[in-house]
């Protein structure tokens, strides 16, 4: 099965109560690609970096079976750079620096070899870029998953709604679901958003887990309770990567399999936050992942019962 990932490949500099980094590897496309690589997929990435982007980072992606033909390198420009500082409770952060650089004029090009992709993951980028990718695909993928954020709801709502109308699974957080739908209840929000197009809606709730909605069906996955969270950066993207990676590998988009994909995404995200940047998800073993998946089973399962 072919999996294509669209998302930023970038530099991050992060400060949390547990430490601080220099410029390190970051970007939604990076986290998604690495997380999706553990399930036996060869994936493709569509993104852009500048001449300052180290070859070792590109090799890191290649070593994860990511085809980088769709990764444009603008040698006379600089890579997207984001810097942020998390507050004490880790639930909120201040952006210190955003240098769009190459991302400001990103014109995604889908290589011929990426045509016939079965699974398309549109990471959080402008709806315009997301739509350009959809339009270039000659055959509609079996499943299109898209991530977005409140920023695009604020400045490009019309274009965002056009993208949402084209996709199968929308991934947003709880506040964004409330903003997009105008509803406080997440159940009501899901109904409103589903009517905009996507059959599936995933609402991420950070440390409180995630909800999957399809029609009247709801699945609730907790986040793994952890002793320490070092750095939440990329957790949402890593979740999305585990989710689409599991679906593409199993090639089954039933509600039952989506539940497992959500647990897989939650598993990968639970690793991600335990170290800074991509460090914790760069070299996981199958055994470590399976052990964490089993922990989710222990965490949530109870025997059937009734009065």
Chain residues binding a copy of itself by CB under 8 A are 38-39, 88-89, 184-188, 205, 208-209, 211, 217-220, 222, 225-229, 256, 259-260, 263, 286, 289-290, 293-294, 297-307
10 Å Cβ neighbour count for 175?
Answer: 12
- Quote the least distance from Cβ 210 to a copy of itself, whole Å: 11
User: In the complex with a copy of itself, which residue's Cβ is closer, 74 or 219?
Assistant: 219
- The CA-based dihedral angle spanning residues 83, 87, 90, 91, taken in that order and rounded to the nearest 10 degrees: -100
Output the DSSP codes for 91-135: S-EEEEEEE-GGGGG------GGGTT-SEEEE-SS-HHHHHHHHH
User: In the complex with a copy of itself, which residue's Cβ is closer, 139 or 286?
Assistant: 286
User: In the complex with a copy of itself, which residue's Cβ is closer, 259 or 279?
Assistant: 259
User: In the complex with a copy of itself, which residue's Cβ is closer, 81 or 276?
Assistant: 276
| CB proximity list for 245: less than 8 A, separation 6 or greater | 3, 35, 36, 37, 38, 39, 41, 43, 264
Q: Are strands 210-214 and 217-221 parallel, antiparallel or unpaired?
A: antiparallel
* Longest pairwise C-alpha distance within the chain: 70
- Rounded to 5°, the CA angle 38-102-136 comes to 65
The C-alpha atoms of residue 104 and residue 54 are separated, in whole angstroms, by: 20
- Quote the least distance from Cβ 43 to a copy of itself, whole Å: 16
Q: Is 54 helix (H, G, I), strand (E, B) or coil?
A: coil
- Quote the least distance from Cβ 263 to a copy of itself, whole Å: 6
- Quote the least distance from Cβ 198 to a copy of itself, whole Å: 18
- Quote the least distance from Cβ 306 to a copy of itself, whole Å: 4
β strands within the chain, DSSP E:
3-6, 10-16, 19-20, 24-26, 43-50, 66-67, 71-74, 81-86, 93-99, 119-122, 143-147, 169-173, 200-204, 210-214, 217-221
User: In the complex with a copy of itself, which residue's Cβ is closer, 205 or 279?
Assistant: 205
Residue pair 108/257 in contact (Cβ under 8 Å)? The answer is no
User: In the complex with a copy of itself, which residue's Cβ is closer, 20 or 217?
Assistant: 217
Token pair for 31: 């986290």
Token pair for 223: 């986040």
Residue pair 267/293 in contact (Cβ under 8 Å)? The answer is yes
- Quote the least distance from Cβ 112 to a copy of itself, whole Å: 32
User: In the complex with a copy of itself, which residue's Cβ is closer, 139 or 301?
Assistant: 301
- Quote the least distance from Cβ 208 to a copy of itself, whole Å: 4
- Quote the least distance from Cβ 220 to a copy of itself, whole Å: 4
User: In the complex with a copy of itself, which residue's Cβ is closer, 92 or 297?
Assistant: 297
């Amino acid at each position: 099965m072919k999996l294509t990932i669209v998302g930023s490949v970038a530099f991050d500099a992060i400060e949390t109560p547990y430490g601080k980094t220099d410029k390190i590897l970051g970007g939604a496309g990076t986290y998604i690609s690495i997380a999706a690589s553990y399930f036996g997929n060869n994936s493709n990435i569509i993104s852009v970096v500048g001449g300052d982007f180290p070859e070792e980072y590109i090799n890191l992606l290649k070593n994860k079976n990511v085809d980088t033909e769709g990764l444009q390198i603008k040698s006379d420009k600089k890579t997207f750079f984001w810097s942020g500082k998390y507050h004490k409770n880790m639930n909120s952060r201040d952006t210190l620096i955003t240098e769009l650089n190459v991302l400001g004029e990103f014109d995604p090009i889908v290589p011929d070899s990426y045509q016939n992709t079965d699974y398309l993951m549109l990471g959080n980028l402008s709806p315009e870029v997301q739509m350009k990718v959809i339009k270039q695909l000659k055959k509609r993928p079996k499943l299109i998953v898209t991530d977005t954020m409140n920023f695009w709801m604020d400045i490009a709502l019309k274009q965002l709604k056009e993208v949402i109308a084209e996709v199968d699974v929308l991934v947003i957080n709880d506040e964004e679901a409330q903003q997009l739908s105008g509803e406080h209840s997440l159940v009501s929000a899901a109904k409103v958003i589903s009517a905009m197009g996507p059959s599936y809606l995933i609402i991420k709730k950070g440390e409180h887990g995630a909800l999957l909605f399809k029609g009247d069906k709801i699945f609730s996955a907790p986040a793994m309770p952890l002793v320490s969270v070092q750095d939440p950066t990329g957790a949402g993207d890593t979740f999305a990567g585990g989710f689409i990676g599991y679906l593409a590998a199993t090639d089954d988009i039933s509600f039952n399999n989506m539940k497992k994909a959500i647990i897989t995404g939650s598993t990968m995200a639970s690793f991600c936050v335990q170290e800074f940047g991509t460090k914790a998800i760069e070299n996981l073993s199958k055994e470590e992942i399976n052990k964490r998946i089993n922990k989710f089973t222990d965490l949530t399962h109870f025997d059937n019962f009734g009065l």
